[in-house]
């Protein structure tokens, strides 16, 4: 087909599609965005259109081979983080330690200072619970568009214990 409309051989085009798709995947996972097969398909087709390679469909077989070749697997997201948490991870670790110290110091409070609570969670946005990621990743994070406290906000009814 005239070297796929002067874009190169089919093999060169397939290599370019794979490199582009892999770079998009890497960029998405570096910012903890959830990635699914449909994203891989979208990126691959997007790149194939640059070459007027309309026969390329990025079917299930191509996606599975792409994931296997590049060491990509699917896992459940363990924790939702906000964009500010990603940017300020060191500050977050410091705050976490301060909070732990505070909670430990509260352990010796008299029972009259104890609160009974009943809690119900409501989500402000629907957040993916699984994503594609590199095989061997130890922590699986996902991001939300709203601040973390809004994405996982809950209402609490409290009453003082007697």
In this predicted structure, what is the pLDDT of residue 1?
Answer: 46
The full set of domain ranges for the chain reads: 2-71
List of the chain residues with pLDDT < 70: 1-7, 84-87, 107-128, 143-162
How far is residue 135's CA from residue 128's CA, in Å, rounded to a whole number? 19
In this predicted structure, what is the pLDDT of residue 162?
Answer: 40
In this predicted structure, what is the pLDDT of residue 24?
Answer: 97
Smallest Cα–Cα separation from 39: which of 20, 13, 15, 12? Answer: 20
Smallest Cα–Cα separation from 142: which of 67, 89, 99, 85? Answer: 85
In this predicted structure, what is the pLDDT of residue 26?
Answer: 93
Give the helix/strand (H/E) hosting 97. Answer: helix 89-106
How far is residue 46's CA from residue 145's CA, in Å, rounded to a whole number? 24
Domain 2-71 has CATH 1.10.287: no
Q: Residue 153 in contact with residue 121, Cβ under 8 Å? A: yes
């Amino acid at each position: 087909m005239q070297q796929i409309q002067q874009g190169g051989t089919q093999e060169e085009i397939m290599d370019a599609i794979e490199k582009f798709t892999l770079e998009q995947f890497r960029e998405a996972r570096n910012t903890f965005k959830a990635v699914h097969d449909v994203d891989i398909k979208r990126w691959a087709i997007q790149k194939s259109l640059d070459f007027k390679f309309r026969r390329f469909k990025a079917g299930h077989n191509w996606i599975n081979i792409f994931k296997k070749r590049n060491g990509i697997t699917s896992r459940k997201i363990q924790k939702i983080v906000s964009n500010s948490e990603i940017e300020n991870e060191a500050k977050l670790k410091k705050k976490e330690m301060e909070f732990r110290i505070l909670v430990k110091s509260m352990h010796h409070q008299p029972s009259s200072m104890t609160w009974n609570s009943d809690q119900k969670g409501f989500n402000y946005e629907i957040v993916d619970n699984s994503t594609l990621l590199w095989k061997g990743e130890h922590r699986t994070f996902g991001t939300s568009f709203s601040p973390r406290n809004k994405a996982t906000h809950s209402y609490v009814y409290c009453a003082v214990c007697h």
